[in-house]
Amino acid sequence: MRQKSSMATIVIDHKLCKKCGICAVFCPKKIYSFSALDGLKVVKEKECTACDMCVIMCPDFAIKILKEKV
């Protein structure tokens, strides 16, 4: 069975993000790049499956995934 790729836009509120990196650890697709100096960056947004693990695990509610219906 072929899995449909979802179109998702990842929105990070950098004012709320405390640079803990939890989202990067729990992302099954490794969408994020994280470093203590640079903080969080989205590096593979097109591979996001919109599973919401990053949203669920973020203790600061700093991530939103906007899902587009395909």
Domain 7-68 has CATH 3.30.70.20: yes
Asked if residue 7 has pLDDT above 60, the reply is: yes
pLDDT in tens, 10-44: 999 999 999 899 999 999 999 999 887 878 899 99
CA distance 48 to 52: 9
Looking at the DSSP assignment, which residues form a beta bridge with residue 33?
Answer: 41
Sign of CA dihedral 29, 18, 63, 9: negative
Instruction: Name which residue leads in pLDDT, 29 or 3.
Output: 29
pTM, to two decimals: 0.80
